[in-house]
Amino acid sequence: MREDRRVTVYIAGDSTAANYPEDKRPMSGWGEWIASYLAEEVRVSNRARNGRSSKSFIAEGHFDRIASSIGEGDYLLVQFGHNDEKPDEKRHTDPGSTYEEHLTRYIEMARSKGAHPLLLTSVERRKFNEVGELVPSHGDYPAAVQRLAEKLEVPLLDLCSRTQEAYRKLGAEASKAWFVWLEPGEHPNYPEGERDDTHFNELGAQKVAGLVAEALAASGSPLAGYLKAGAAG
């Protein structure tokens, strides 16, 4: 029996959603900011971890720790893909087979606890070609999430499409403002500078959290009822 019946939103994901310590700032994940779009009675438990895939998150015990605490009426936001694409055996999954198999475990676990799962496609990387066109980087993984969400009747938050649209509107140069792009000497945590087109800075993470809220508002999930007035759009 849980001592506290507040609705809790759990996040299972990778570095694009994770919390960051001060020595990694300004790097930030959208999971650090999503609470600002939700009603005060909602608690956010951000379990996202750097470098994890849908497979390694389970193997390392993070999945079981969520399963031991999630309860009836809670929500589980699941976003993996960046590291499922990696070739190493501990993390790699294949869209069309093992990727969906692992994601299905999250859905089944949440439902077995009386909680509500939601699937999120991966946020896009900032990758533009020489003529300024955004280059999609996730291959078949987003479509696999979409198919699984439809098959298992799980609300889908298509962050891949929403971030692609946002980057295209910003363009190749202005979109750097969302990411950890730093000149040498600009920030004490990165004395030699940094050019990271995957990880967000605090501005970018806040903006992406806003995109999550917008997607949530359109998702049909009961969690949308906990959005603050005017939080989406």
Query: What is the pLDDT, as a whole number, of residue 92?
Result: 99
Q: Who wins on pLDDT, 12 or 230?
A: 12
Q: What region, left, alpha or beta, does residue 99 occupy, with left being phi > 0 and alpha being psi -120 to 50 degrees?
A: alpha
Average pLDDT over residues 225-230: 94
Query: What is the pLDDT, as a whole number, of residue 180?
Result: 99
Token digits for 121?
């496609």
Average pLDDT over residues 191-200: 98
The answer on pLDDT for 151 being more than 50 is yes
Say which amino acid occupies 227. Answer: L
Average pLDDT over residues 198-219: 99
Query: What is the pLDDT, as a whole number, of residue 231?
Result: 77
- CA dihedral 206→165→155→64, nearest 10 degrees, is -50
Query: What is the pLDDT, as a whole number, of residue 2?
Result: 46
Q: Give me the percent of the chain exceeding a pLDDT of 70.
A: 97
The answer on pLDDT for 148 being more than 60 is yes
Q: Give me the percent of the chain exceeding a pLDDT of 90.
A: 96
Cα–Cα distance for residue pair 119/16, rounded to 1 Å: 15
Query: What is the pLDDT, as a whole number, of residue 1?
Result: 38
Token digits for 38?
């939700």
Query: What is the pLDDT, as a whole number, of residue 5?
Result: 73
Q: Which pLDDT tens digit goes with each residue over 156-189?
A: 999 999 999 999 999 999 999 999 999 999 999 9
Residue 4 pLDDT class (50, 70, 90 cuts)? low
Instruction: Identify the three-state secondary structure at position 199.
Output: strand
Q: Which pLDDT tens digit goes with each residue over 22-52?
A: 999 999 999 999 999 999 999 999 999 999 9
The pTM assigned to this predicted structure is 0.96
Instruction: Identify the three-state secondary structure at position 120.
Output: strand
Average pLDDT over residues 128-136: 98
Query: What is the pLDDT, as a whole number, of residue 233?
Result: 60
Query: What is the pLDDT, as a whole number, of residue 230?
Result: 81
| Catalytic center residues | 15, 192, 199
Q: What structural domains does the chain harbor?
A: 8-226 (3.40.50.1110)
